C-alpha cells in the first residue's frame, strides 16, 4: 500500500531526491519549498508518473507555524494520514559571528530547527493514533562538528539532534521511530551558493574553497550524492529499521571519523 510521505524543502537538492526515492517506491508524496510555479508543476507531474500513488505541492513557508500546521493537515486530508515525515528544509549563511545579521540567525533557527518541531507537533498525533510512523530529520555533519563562520547553521543542526532524541523517547512505545541523517557535502544549490561567501570569509579563491575546504573535510574526496540520502531515507522508513530510533546516521565520506 502507498504510504503518505511529507518532505519539507523538496523543490530542490536533497529533498527532491528523497521525494523521488519515495515516489519510485510507489508512495504518495507531498512536496514543499520555494521555486518557479511551472517548475514545481513539472516536479509534481514527474513524481506522479514515477509513483503508484499521487503527488501534491504545498507552499508552506517553514518560518510560519500556521502554514506548517496546514501542510500536515492537507497531507492527512489528501492521503489519509502522514506515515513518513522528512524534515529537510534548510538554508545557510556564512559570516563571522560579530557581523552575522540578527535576522539571518532568527531565520536559520526557524527554518533549520523550529520548523521540525512544528511539523512533528502536528504529525505526531496522527502517527500515535495509528501506532506507526517514521520521522527523519535531515541534520548534517555540522550537527556533530563545527566549522567557523556557520554559527546559526551549526547551532540549529546540533539542536535538531537533541530534538530527534527527545521525540524518539516520547514515541518509542507507539511504533514511531525518529532519526537524523547527517550528510557531508552534497553539491546542491545550498552548497554552490556558499562558495563565494566562504571564499570571502577565508580570503581564498572559489576553487581553493572547493578543494581545500569542502572536499578536504571528506576523506573520500568526493561529494555525497543526493540520491544516496534518498536511499538511506527509504531504509529508515522501512520495517527493517523498526528498532533504529533516537540516533543519527552519518553519510559524510568519513568526515566525522577524523
Residue number, 76 or 144, with CB nearest to ligand NAD = 144
Half-sphere exposure of 76 (CA within 13 A, CB side): 17
Q: CA–CA distance from 117 to each of 33, 78, 85, 100 (Å)?
A: 17, 22, 12, 24
Q: Least Å distance between CB 168 and ligand NAD?
A: 19
Catalytic positions, please? Answer: 153
The residue range among 75-83, 86-94, 123-131, 204-212 that interacts with ligand NAD, by the rule CB under 6 A, is: 86-94
The residue range among 84-92, 95-103, 128-136, 231-239 that interacts with ligand NAD, by the rule CB under 6 A, is: 84-92
Residue number, 52 or 193, with CB nearest to ligand NAD = 193
Footprint of ligand NAD on 122-161 (CB under 6 A): 138, 140
186 makes contact with ligand NAD (CB under 6 A): yes
Output the nine-digit C-alpha cell for 141: 555533519
55 within 8 A of 28, measured Cβ to Cβ: yes
**Eight-state DSSP code of residue 80:** S
Q: Which of 2, 4, 6, 11 binds ligand NAD (CB under 6 A)?
A: 11
**Angle (deg, nearest 10), helices 37-50 and 13-24:** 30
Q: Of 94, 108, 91, which is closest to residue 200 (Cα–Cα)? A: 94
Binding site for ligand NAD (CB under 6 A): 9-15, 32-35, 61-63, 88-91, 111-112, 138, 140, 183, 185-186, 188-191
Amino acid at each position: 500500500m502507498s504510504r503518505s510521505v511529507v518532505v519539507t524543502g523538496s523543490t530542490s537538492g536533497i529533498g527532491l531526491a528523497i521525494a523521488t526515492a519515495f515516489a519510485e517506491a510507489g508512495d504518495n508524496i507531498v512536496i514543499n519549498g520555494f521555486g518557479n510555479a511551472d517548475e514545481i508543476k513539472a516536479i509534481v507531474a514527474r513524481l506522479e508518473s514515477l509513483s503508484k500513488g499521487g503527488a501534491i505541492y504545498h507552499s508552506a513557508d517553514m518560518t510560519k507555524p500556521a502554514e506548517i500546521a496546514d501542510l500536515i493537515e492537507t497531507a492527512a486530508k489528501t492521503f489519509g494520514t502522514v506515515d513518513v515525515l522528512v524534515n529537510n528544509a534548510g538554508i545557510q549563511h556564512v559570516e563571522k559571528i560579530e557581523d552575522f545579521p540578527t535576522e539571518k540567525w532568527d531565520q536559520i533557527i526557524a527554518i533549520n530547527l523550529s520548523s521540525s518541531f512544528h511539523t512533528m507537533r502536528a504529525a505526531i498525533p496522527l502517527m500515535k493514533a495509528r501506532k506507526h510512523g517514521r520521522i527523519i530529520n535531515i541534520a548534517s555533519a555540522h550537527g556533530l562538528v563545527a566549522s567557523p563562520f556557520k554559527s546559526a547553521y551549526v547551532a540549529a543542526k546540533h539542536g535538531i539532534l537533541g530534538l530527534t532524541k527527545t521525540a524518539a523517547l516520547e514515541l518509542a512505545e507507539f511504533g514511531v521511530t525518529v532519526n537524523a541523517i547527517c550528510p557531508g557535502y552534497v553539491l546542491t544549490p545550498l552548497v554552490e551558493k556558499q562558495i563565494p561567501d566562504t571564499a570571502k570569509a577565508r580570503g581564498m579563491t572559489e576553487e581553493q574553497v572547493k578543494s581545500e575546504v569542502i572536499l578536504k573535510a571528506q576523506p573520500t574526496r568526493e561529494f555525497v550524492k543526493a540520491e544516496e540520502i534518498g536511499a538511506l531515507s527509504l531504509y529508515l522508513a522501512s520495517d527493517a529499521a523498526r528498532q533504529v530510533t533516537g540516533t543519527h546516521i552519518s553519510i559524510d565520506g568519513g568526515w566525522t571519523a577524523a
